[in-house]
Amino acid sequence: MKSTNIVIRKRITVLFILAMLLFSVLIVRLAWIQFVQGDELREQAAAFRMREVPVEAKRGTIYDRNKNELVVSISSDSVYVIPAHIKDQAETAKQLAHLLNLDQEAVLKRISRNSYFEWIQRRIDWDTAQKIKKLNLSGVGFAEESKRFYKQERLSPHLLGFVGMDNQGLTGIEKTFEDHLQGISGRIIVEHDAVGREIPQALHDYIPPLPGHNLVLTIDQTIQHFVERELDKIIDRFNPAGAVIIVMDPLTGEILAMGNRPTFNPNAWQDYQPAIWDRNRAIWYNYEPGSTFKIITAAVALEEDKVGLDEHFHCPGYIKVADRRIRCWRHEGHGDQTFREVVKNSCNPGFIEVGLNIGIEKFYKYIRNFGFGQPTGIELPGEARGILIDEKKATNLNLATISIGQSIATTPIQLITAVSAAINGGYLMRPYVVKEIRDNQNKLIKENNPQKVHRVISEKTSLVIRGLLADVVLHGTGKNAYVDGYPAGGKTGTAQIVGDCGGYVSGRYVASFAGFAPVDNPRIAVLIMVQEPQGGIYYGSQVAAPVFSQLARDILRYLGVPEKLNMERPVNPLLFTEKTPEQKLTIAVPNVVNLPLHEARNKLKAAGLAFDIAGSGAMIYQQTPRGGAVVKKDVTVLLNSNPPDDLPAGKVTMPDLTGSTIREAGTLLESLGLFLELSGTGLVVNQSIKPGTKIDKGSMIKVEFKPPG
């Protein structure tokens, strides 16, 4: 009996020890889970229970200088799945693939992944989203995202750029200002039960996104519209490999317009070859500027007093430098001529002689000061430096060819910036395209102001250059660039294209024109570059200069710059604004009838005329003296903003105003005795009276204006 008790006690002891060991293991395991793996397991449990749905920030809007929307973000649904919550993967894949036009196997593979969250398709159209929502598929959800929309599909897409699938900027302004435009994404956190159902009254947390900043550009969409129109004409007529037009305010460095060909639609950039959209020719294309570079040569020579305006040169049709004979474009030569005539005639031997007088060291100093061989710093990705022969390796032959725009390569943005410095009083300005950065509450974050890099030439030299270039347009190689109503200056250029292995390629040219207007107070500087025009016409004077003529006239009229009557050749390039005492006392009165009151005021102020206003209307219906009358500068112009009582008798035919600016429409209606009642801004898209209708003089015509595009 005693031995039996001992055995029982032993068994109980062993059982107790085993129980204690098991209990100790459980305690150790519990402690390990609680204290060592606790944080990780809590995160895993929360990850299964809590679901995060991303909420993308709305990307900032891009405006032109007049606050017209160019690029906006619109709401769009994106489809996602939570694989663990899908009940029937095969059926779900079939339904989604059918409605989204996707491969069923690819969708099934995606929703079968061992992951918490998977995108199925981003930014789908509204109708498709509604169809999927009606199916009420388990594990399928929607996130509201923003889709980038470029309102003017072909308005400077290389400058604006575009975004990728994740709404990140890939090119242009969209890329450069990504940090400002993108904003900060938010998220929605929702609690689910063990089988994936959303728990009513459970924990929901919403972390709102922060919208991106808005950009106000220096670009004017109306001027950009003019540029796009002229580029289309160039393509239709010459079928070139490429073309660029840049319009700059030479006094500030603001880019008013920048256009490229070939072009693309940024709303569907995937439909185009990368070669079309990945490079902005205006800032990366290197080419020999040809005779447009002679503007720089002349400026340097005059600044360094290496030539006088009346100094004589002889051109027999060529000049010999080292062992090479460099021909003039006019093979028979220009004969005896002054430096004024050398510039007017674009004479190669004359410019080469001047360049050699300047010398390599001094010429290179100015070339760098004008910004060649280095980026301008414009806020666009992919800017090229240009190509400049190493000064230590440069020879007199190199100097001679550089003087006429050969043996040096520049980008369009470099050249227009340098030309602006030559005619704006002598300052190299940093070109820029973003005027302001504002938050979504319209609070100013940053403002960009004109930035003078440094002075390159004196104001006196700049005045002389303007006069010489005005003579080029009036009487020289740039006659086709003449702008009716506005004194303009500029220089044509025709250069052969350099081959990949060096040397020039026969039959391939770049035609260009660099110009500005008005001469006495430059408001715009324009560069037109046409790469490899076809059809046997390739001279800058034939291809690019006529484009400047039409473009500059439209821009200056749009800007409200008063036209000049009876333009004549400047008496002296240094004093090109010189007039007789009698001329200084008189002025042509601008026509302001049918203009809004504020525009009439600005136009008269710009002309230096005093005015009085009678009436309480918003438009000007009468003025005394009439537009075009030549009066003394101390005359006060009387304006009447009330429609006149004594309306003219008779009938007139209603013209077609479509596409006209406010000024053009107002001027035309005024000439017919009709009055303008406008709404909107931009160009005419609608008029209350159909073209060709016979109407009474004095009738009020309602005209609707909208931005171009």
pLDDT of amino acid 157: 95
Domain closes at, from 640, 661, 689: 640
Which stretch of 126-135, 225-234, 274-283, 350-359 has the lowest confidence by average pLDDT? 126-135
Neighbours of 78 (CB within 10 A): 20
Mark whether 19 and 60 lie in a shared domain. Answer: no
> Of 592, 612, 640, which residue sits at a domain end?
640
Same structural domain for residues 608 and 660?
no
Q: Are residues 514 and 602 located together in one domain of the fold? A: no
Using CA atoms, how far residue 393 sits from 175, 360, 388, 389, 398, in Å, is 38, 10, 11, 7, 9
Query: Contact, 98 vs 139, CB < 8 A?
Result: no
Same domain, 72 and 208: yes
Is pLDDT above 50 for 373? yes
Q: Give 626's contacts (C-beta < 8 A, 6+ positions apart).
A: 589, 591
Give the per-residue pLDDT at 179: 92
115 catalytic per annotation: no
Report the domain count for the chain: 5
Query: pLDDT tens digits for 38-49?
Result: 676 666 555 556
* % of the chain surpassing 70 pLDDT: 88
Shared domain check, 618 and 499: no
505 and 419 within one domain: yes
Indicate the range of 104-113, 156-165, 463-472, 590-599 predicted with least confidence.
590-599
pLDDT of residue 43: 63
Summarize the confidence of residues 252-280 as an average pLDDT: 91
One domain for residues 604 and 492: no
pLDDT of amino acid 30: 77
Least confident among 97-111, 248-262, 441-455, 613-627 = 613-627
**In this structure, what CATH number is given to the domain that contains residue 607?**
3.30.10.20
Question: What local confidence, expressed as pLDDT, does residue 577 receive?
Answer: 40
Say what the pLDDT of residue 219 is. Answer: 96
Once rounded to an integer, what is the mean pLDDT over residues 505-522?
Answer: 92
CA distances in angstroms from 108 to 82, 95, 119, 306, listed in the order given: 13, 10, 12, 78
74 within 8 A of 145, measured Cβ to Cβ? no
pLDDT of residue 58: 85
Q: Domain of 428: which CATH number?
A: 3.40.710.10
- Structural domain contains residue 45: no
Q: Can you give the residue range of the structural domain that contains 616?
A: 581-640
In this model, does residue 562 exceed pLDDT 90? no
Confidence grade of residue 52 (pLDDT, cut at 50, 70, 90): low
For residue 567, tell me if it sits in a domain. Answer: no
pLDDT: which is higher, 329 or 463: 463
Q: Is the pLDDT of residue 667 over 80?
A: no
Structure-model confidence comparison of residues 195 and 496, the more confident one: 496
In a domain, 573, yes or no: no
Structure-block tokens of residue 324? 């090479």
| Matching residue, tokens 């098991």 | 22
> Which of these, 344, 309, 340, lies nearest to 330 by C-alpha position?
344
User: In the predicted model, is pLDDT for residue 477 greater than 60?
Assistant: yes
d(CA 513, CA 423): 15
Whether pLDDT at 188 is above 70: no
Binned at pLDDT 50, 70 and 90, residue 254 comes out as: very high
Q: Evaluate if residue 9 carries a pLDDT over 60.
A: yes
Residue 27 lies in a domain: yes
Average pLDDT, the chain: 84
Evaluate whether residue 363 is within a structural domain: yes
Asked whether the predicted pLDDT for residue 500 surpasses 90, the reply is no
183/320 same-domain check: no
pLDDT band at 53 (very low <50, low <70, confident <90, very high): low
Under the phi-then-psi rule, with left for phi > 0, alpha for psi from -120 to 50, and beta for the rest, what region is 546? alpha
What confidence score (pLDDT) does residue 311 get?
A: 92
691-707: pLDDT as tens digits? 778 888 878 888 888 87
Q: Band of the pLDDT at 602, cuts 50, 70, 90?
A: confident
- Measure the CA–CA gap between 621 and 597, rounded to whole angstroms: 10
**Predicted confidence (pLDDT) per residue in 193-240, tens digit:** 555 555 554 445 667 788 899 999 999 999 999 999 999 999 999 999
pLDDT in the model for residue 709? 56
pLDDT of residue 579: 38
Asked which of 180-189, 349-358, 657-666 is least confident by mean pLDDT, the reply is: 657-666
Alpha helices in 161-263 (DSSP H): 172-176, 178-181, 221-238
Q: Which of 146, 291, 420, 541 is catalytic?
A: 291
What does the pLDDT average to over 422-433?
97
User: Residue 567: is its pLDDT beyond 60?
Assistant: no
Is residue 574, in this structure, part of any structural domain at all? no
Question: Which stretch, 90-99, 184-193, 468-477, has highest mean pLDDT?
Answer: 468-477
Q: Which residue has the higher pLDDT, 455 or 11?
A: 455
Could you give the CA distance from residue 277 to residue 259 in angstroms, rounded to a whole number? 12
Average pLDDT of 251-269? 94
Q: Rounded to whole angstroms, how far apart are CA atoms 34 and 17?
A: 25
Q: Residue 643's pLDDT band (boundaries 50, 70, 90)?
A: low
Distance of alpha carbon 95 from alpha carbon 320, whole angstroms: 80
Q: Is 676 found in the same domain as 601?
A: no
Does the residue 274 lie in any domain? no
Same domain for 474 and 510? yes
**One domain, residues 229 and 354:** yes
Domain end, chosen from 500, 526, 558, is at 558
Shared domain check, 403 and 524:
yes
Domain contains 272? no
Mean pLDDT, range 142-167, rounded to an integer: 85
